[in-house]
């Protein structure tokens, strides 16, 4: 390829990957607008997020299989077209379930825009410049989910929610046309017999599990019949999937490669990383908007400095890997940064300035930059070349599952902690507590000055006290959520000891399809 064609293809595939990643979080701040416009409850509208996540997790482990059997070029261009068409249809949806259906199809198209894009990026650079490829793609992986809420907030505040989908259309058309001219077909392996049963078990198992995780807290877990039913279905389907895939000749997901210690340990660490990445993006805007009173745009701006620092950190990380620095050592520092970020966020208060929160988020950004590429490198360090695409697909699926598990755990934990903190607070609102008496008296006097009678003023004062209790108990619960995620990061650190020594004896391998 000529240098110009190479650069155009590079821009195309990175833009496609960023577009897909932005869509994982861009709708989060628009749910209220969608709910009102489509006449649906907020609970039903949240399926817009759930359906996309389910489709993504189902398709990611199958991308290597599909690209080989359908042809990488055909599969990638077809996925871009599917993603683009469904983006347009999402914007045109006339009811909530039509929108949910097209979001699911959009998620299926988005799966290839990650793994295949990463493969192409790494192939466009010679081995001596793989650090540049790692940094470039890592920037997209980090920035995509980070700017999603900011972009979604700006669009919904200034335009209307369908435009969060319509903006994908021109990018998707340009990417598809560009790939038709520039994307090449690699040497194709022999087409294998299609593992239809494995595909069905994967879809049913992962799909059921994702619904349970995404909807469990909203519908009070096993008090809802369908949650209990889908939990049983998920356990049975995934158990059958593992047994089936381990005993057939051409599995859709080659689980045998999990016998490699580096991959299995990296998968656990990637799972925890996914928890940290997605829960921090979920918790921080919630705290900033609901508790601290920031607008969606202001909340997004808190993340901007960290994104800039992450670009530099990603470049440094790639160079360290190429110089032979152990991926396990870089991962260790990444985990420590994330632990510090969560610990710091668990100690903020209602008076904490935006600058301090931004500084904490910079540590999060550095942590993510130190984890994005090295974990992928660690995952494939023991694999043969033919197993790398499958290994990275499994590793990437663990990141997505980690995010789903993390948000589900945080939602449940925060809900439980709100009740606990509320009880702690209201026990101090008594007639023999001078601070409580003074506060109620001050609020009562305030409402009397506004023209209310004594009884009405006292009632208004107690209502205001209740709002303060709700706000403070919610805030304290969110801070507990940060601490819990930091705890998860801390307890898996010893796993690095099992790969650190053997890691030093192996040459660094930069994965060709990691994201």
What would the two tokens of residue 476 be? 């304290």
- pLDDT value at 191 more than 60: no
Q: What is the pLDDT of residue 341?
A: 94
Q: What is the pLDDT of residue 87?
A: 93
Helices within 261-353 (DSSP H only): 261-286, 296-322, 327-345
Q: What is the pLDDT of residue 345?
A: 92
Q: Which residues of 444-482 are buried (b: 16+ CB within 10 A; e: fewer)?
A: beebbeeebeeeebbebbeebbeeebeebbbbbbbbbbb
Q: What is the pLDDT of residue 371?
A: 86
Of 363, 361, 273, 369, residue with least CA distance to 320: 369
Quickly state the pLDDT bin for 512 (edges 50, 70, 90): very low
- Most confidently predicted of 104-113, 337-346, 457-466: 337-346
Kindly report the length of the chain.
Answer: 515
Rounded mean pLDDT, 336-340: 94
Of 407, 27, 23, 41, residue with least CA distance to 214: 407
Contact 498, 442 (CB under 8 A): no
- pLDDT value at 510 more than 50: no
Q: What is the pLDDT of residue 505?
A: 43
Q: What is the pLDDT of residue 471?
A: 87
Q: What is the pLDDT of residue 507?
A: 45
Q: What is the pLDDT of residue 515?
A: 41
- Most confidently predicted of 7-11, 164-168, 191-195: 164-168
Q: Give 246-260 pLDDT, tens digit per residue.
A: 888 777 777 777 788
- pLDDT value at 513 more than 50: no
- pLDDT value at 503 more than 60: no
DSSP per-residue letters across 175-195: HHHHHHHHPPP-PPPPPPPP-
Q: Return the percentage of the chain with pLDDT > 90, whole number.
A: 15
- pLDDT value at 33 more than 50: yes
Of 374, 370, 379, residue with least CA distance to 397: 379
**For the whole model, what pTM was predicted?**
0.78
Mean pLDDT computed over every residue of the chain: 81
Rounded mean pLDDT, 70-74: 84
Quickly state the pLDDT bin for 511 (edges 50, 70, 90): very low
Q: Give 464-497 pLDDT, tens digit per residue.
A: 888 888 888 989 999 999 999 999 999 998 888 8
Distance CA 339, CA 368 (A): 11
Distance CA 363, CA 319 (A): 20
Rounded mean pLDDT, 73-93: 92
- Most confidently predicted of 115-119, 347-351, 397-401: 347-351
Top pLDDT among 456 and 509 is at: 456
- pLDDT value at 127 more than 70: no
């Amino acid at each position: 390829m000529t240098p110009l064609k190479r650069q155009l293809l590079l821009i195309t595939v990175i833009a496609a990957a960023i577009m897909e990643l932005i869509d994982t979080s861009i709708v989060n701040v628009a749910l209220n607008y969608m709910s009102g416009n489509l006449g649906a409850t907020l609970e039903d509208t949240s399926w817009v997020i759930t359906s996309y996540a389910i489709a993504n997790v189902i398709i990611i482990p199958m991308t290597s299989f599909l690209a080989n059997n359908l042809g990488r070029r055909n599969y990638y261009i077809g996925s871009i077209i599917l993603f683009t068409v469904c983006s347009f249809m999402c914007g045109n949806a006339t009811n909530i379930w039509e929108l949910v259906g097209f979001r699911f199809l959009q998620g299926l198209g988005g799966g290839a825009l990650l793994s295949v894009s990463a493969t192409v990026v790494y192939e466009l650079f010679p081995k001596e410049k793989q650090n540049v490829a790692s940094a470039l793609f890592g920037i997209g992986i980090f920035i995509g989910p980070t700017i999603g809420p900011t972009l979604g907030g700006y669009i919904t505040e200034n335009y209307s929610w369908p435009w969060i989908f319509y903006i994908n259309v021109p990018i998707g058309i340009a990417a598809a046309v560009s790939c038709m001219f520039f994307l090449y077909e690699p040497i194709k392996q022999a087409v294998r017999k299609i593992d239809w049963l494995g595909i069905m078990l994967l879809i049913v198992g992962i799909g059921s599990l994702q619904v349970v995780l995404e909807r469990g807290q909203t519908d009070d877990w096993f008090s809802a019949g369908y949650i209990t039913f889908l939990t049983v279905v998920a356990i049975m389907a995934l158990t059958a999937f593992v047994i089936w895939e381990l005993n057939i000749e051409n599995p859709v997901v080659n689980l045998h490669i999990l016998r490699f210690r580096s991959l299995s340990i990296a998968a656990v660490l990637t799972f925890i990383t996914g928890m940290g990445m997605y829960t921090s993006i979920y918790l921080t805007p919630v705290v900033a908007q609901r508790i601290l009173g920031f607008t969606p745009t202001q909340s997004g701006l808190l993340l901007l400095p960290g994104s800039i620092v992450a670009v530099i950190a990603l470049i440094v990380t790639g160079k360290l890997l190429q110089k032979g620095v152990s991926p396990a050592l870089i991962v260790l520092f990444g985990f420590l940064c994330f632990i510090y970020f969560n610990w710091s966020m668990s100690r903020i208060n209602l008076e904490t300035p935006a600058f301090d929160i931004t500084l904490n988020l910079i540590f999060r950004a550095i942590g993510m930059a130190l984890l994005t590429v090295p974990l992928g490198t660690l995952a494939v360090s023991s694999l043969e070349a033919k197993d790398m695409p499958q290994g990275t697909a499994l590793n990437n699926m663990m990141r997505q599952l980690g995010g789903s598990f993390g948000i589900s755990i945080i939602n449940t934990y925060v809900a439980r902690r709100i009740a606990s903190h509320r009880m702690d607070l209201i026990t101090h609102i008594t007639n023999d507590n001078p601070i409580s008496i003074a506060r109620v008296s001050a609020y009562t006097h305030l409402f009397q000055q506004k023209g209310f009678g004594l009884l009405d003023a006292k009632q208004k004062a107690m209502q205001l006290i209740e709002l303060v209790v709700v706000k403070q108990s919610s805030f304290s619960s969110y801070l507990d959520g940060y601490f819990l995620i930091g705890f998860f990061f801390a307890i898996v650190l010893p796993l690095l000891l099992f790969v650190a020594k053997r890691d030093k004896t192996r040459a660094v391998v930069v994965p060709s399809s990691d994201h």
